[in-house]
């Protein structure tokens, strides 16, 4: 399926397609490796948490911020 075909689908169908793809990945026997930059981001965020400089917000605050 080409990206233009996917974009032409209604959102509900694209969400279903995404869920089906995710389900296929969840049951793979092969380990899926994260890219090395994921570890860098996690380490940076852990340093913020450990130093007390991390700022946490609630899900509702995040939703309000993005609306």
Instruction: Give the tens place of pLDDT for each residue, 16-25.
Output: 999 999 998 8
Q: Per-domain residue ranges for the chain? A: 1-32, 35-67
Is the pLDDT at 33 greater than 90? The verdict is no
pLDDT of residue 39: 94
Q: Whole-model pTM?
A: 0.48
How long, in residues, is the chain?
A: 67
């Amino acid at each position: 399926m080409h990206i233009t075909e996917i974009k032409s689908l209604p959102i509900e169908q694209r969400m279903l397609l995404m869920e089906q793809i995710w389900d296929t990945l969840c049951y793979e026997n092969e380990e899926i490796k994260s890219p090395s930059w994921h570890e860098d981001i996690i380490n940076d965020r852990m340093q913020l948490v450990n130093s007390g400089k991390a700022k946490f917000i609630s899900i509702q605050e995040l939703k309000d911020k993005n609306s």
